[in-house]
Amino acid sequence: MHALIHWIRRNRRASLVLVTTIVILLHTELWKWDGDEMDTMPPITATTVIHSTPATLNFTPPFHTEGRHILDAKGIPLKLASLNWYGASDTDYVPGGLEVQHRDTIAALIRDLGFNSVRLPYADEIVIKNPVIGPSVIAANLDLSSNKSENDEPLRALDVFHAVVESLTAAGLLVIVNNHITQATWCCGMNPCDLSWKNDWFGADVLCTVSQTEARWIRNWETVMAPLVSNPLVLGADLRNEVRGLWGTMHWGEWADAAERASERLLAMNPDWLMFVEGISSANDLSGASTRPVQLSIPGRVVYSAHVYKWSGWGSLRPFASRTYEDFATTMWKNWGYLLTEEIAPVWVGEFGTPETPSEGDQNYWRHLMQYMEVMDASWGYWALNARKATGEWESYGLVGDEWDWASVRRDYRLTDLACLGRREEIEEETDERAAGSRQSKNGK
C-alpha cells in the first residue's frame, strides 16, 4: 500500500488515468459511504439571528409546492426569476464584486433589475477550511472586517457569505443557496474530484485537493444553513451543482438517494425550506424522476432543477447550438418539460446563459430556449451577474461591467429577452432611466 501511494505521488498524470479507470469500472461502490458515519457526528444547532426584511413583499413566506407550481403561504404561485451571483465557489472564496461595491448596493442593483431571487453558490472548501479573507477582495465591504476586529477575530469566508445572504434578503430577494463544487475553483469539467457530492474513492485523498465523504457533504450543508434557519427569505437549498459521471457512470437513483438523505437533514433544521434537486449529466437530465421521484417525509418540498447551455452537457455530441427548434423542444420535454406538462413538480432552469456578443450558434440556442421557457412558463435563473471571473478574465455571460453599478449594466438582447420571461414590464424603461441618471451625475449635470 505504501509503495502504491508513493507511486501515485510520483506519477500524478498516470495516476489520474488509473483512478479514472477504477471509477468507471467499479463506480466507487467498493468505497461507498456507510450511513452509520453520520450518527457519530454531533448535531448542528441553529444560531439565533435577527434578520431584516422589507415591509412590503410581492410574496408571503413560507413556500411549498403543489403540482407544477411553487406557492406562497396565501396559495399564490411564485415564478422564480433568479440571477446567479458566483464567487464563493471560486478561488477568492467570496462573491464577486465586493471589492468594488458594498453588498447592499449590489443586492439593490439585482432587485432593481427586476430579479426576485438569487442563486448563491459556495464550495465545500470554504466550509471545511473557512479561510481568512483579506481586505483586497472585500475592499468596498471593510465594515465586515471592522466588526470582527472589535472581538479580535479574523474575518472568514463564511462570515462574508452569510453577510451577503443578509443583504440580499434585506433587499427583498429570495435566496437559493447552492453547493456548487467541492474544491473552490471554476466549475465544471471532467475532474473526477468534483464530479459529485462525494469523492471518497480509493486514492482521492492523494489526487484531490479537497476530498470528502457524503457525511461530510451533508455536514457542510448544515454548517452553511444553520445561521439562516430563521430567515424567511432563504427559500432553500440547491443540493449539488451539475452532478455527472465520466461517460455516463452516474445514475439517477444513486443521486436521488443522496438528495433525499441530505434533504431530510436540512428539513429537520427548517421544515419550510424547499429542496432543489438538479438532474444528472451536468443537470441536463431529469428523466429519471418519472419513475424514481425524490420523495421526502414532508410533502411539497421538492423542486427539480435543470441547466441548459448551448453545448448541452459535458461530452455531448449533439450541442443545442446546432439543433432545430423541434429537436430542441423534444429533448427538453424528455429531460424536464414533462414534469411541468404532467403537473408532477415545479422545474427551475437554474442555469443558462450566453455571451453579450453571440455567435450564430449562441443565437440559435438562445432563441430556442427563450421560446421553450416562455411556452412552459418555467422558473429560471440566469448565469450570471458577474463582471469578471476570479482569474480576472472578462465574464462574457455577465450582466454588469467592472463598476458593478447601473451605468455599467450591459443593456443588450439578454435583458430584453429576460423581460419576457417574468421580469417586471417596466424594467427596461427603469434601467434606461437609472443609467441616464448615473451618466448625468458623472458629468456633473
Give the residues across from 380 on adjacent strands.
81, 349
Q: Taking Cα atoms as reference points, which of 326, 221, 320 lies closest to residue 265?
A: 221
Give me the domain span that covers residue 298: 65-442
Q: Is 275 left (phi over 0), alpha (psi -120 to 50) or beta?
A: beta
Give the DSSP H/E element, type plus range, for residue 338. Answer: helix 338-341
31 part of a folded domain: no
CATH of the domain at 104: 3.20.20.80
**Are 63 and 272 within 8 A, CB to CB?**
yes
Residue type, 387: A
Q: How far apart are CA 358 and CA 373, in angstroms?
A: 19
17 part of a folded domain: no
240 part of a folded domain: yes
Instruction: Report residue 60 as a C-alpha cell.
Output: 408571503
Please tell me whether residue 434 adopts helix, strand or coil conformation.
Answer: helix
Q: How far apart are CA 74 and CA 402, in angstroms?
A: 40
Instruction: Report residue 221 as a C-alpha cell.
Output: 450543508
Q: How far apart are CA 408 and CA 435, in angstroms?
A: 8
pLDDT at 204: 85
Please tell me whether residue 245 adopts helix, strand or coil conformation.
Answer: coil
Give the C-alpha distances (Å, rounded to integers) separating 97 from 168, 292, 401. Answer: 14, 41, 10
**Are 197 and 217 within 8 A, CB to CB?**
yes
**Are 65 and 274 within 8 A, CB to CB?**
yes
Q: How many CA atoms lie within 13 A of 272 on its CB side?
A: 15
Cis-peptide, bond into residue 384, ω within 30° of zero? yes
Instruction: Report residue 358 as a C-alpha cell.
Output: 453571440
Q: What is the pLDDT along the chain (445 residues), one digit of tens a residue?
A: 444 444 444 444 444 444 444 443 334 333 333 333 433 344 444 444 556 667 678 999 999 999 999 999 999 999 999 999 999 999 999 999 999 999 999 999 999 999 999 999 999 999 999 999 999 999 999 999 987 766 779 999 999 999 999 999 999 999 999 999 999 999 876 788 999 999 988 788 889 999 999 999 999 999 999 999 999 999 999 999 999 877 667 899 999 999 999 999 999 999 999 999 999 999 999 999 999 999 999 999 999 999 999 987 555 667 999 999 999 999 999 999 999 999 999 999 999 999 999 999 999 999 999 999 999 999 999 999 999 999 999 999 999 999 999 999 999 999 999 988 865 444 444 445 554 554 444 444 4
274 part of a folded domain: yes
pLDDT at 296: 99
Q: How far apart are CA 186 and CA 203, in angstroms?
A: 23
Q: How far apart are CA 71 and CA 5, in angstroms?
A: 53
DSSP annotation of 132 reads B
Give the DSSP H/E element, type plus range, for residue 65. Answer: strand 64-66
pLDDT at 21: 42
77 part of a folded domain: yes
Number of domains making up the chain:
1
Q: How many CA atoms lie within 13 A of 311 on its CB side?
A: 10
pLDDT at 44: 45
**Are 381 and 337 within 8 A, CB to CB?**
no
22 part of a folded domain: no
255 part of a folded domain: yes
How many other β-carbons are positioned within 10 Å of the β-carbon of residue 184? 26
236 part of a folded domain: yes
pLDDT at 428: 44
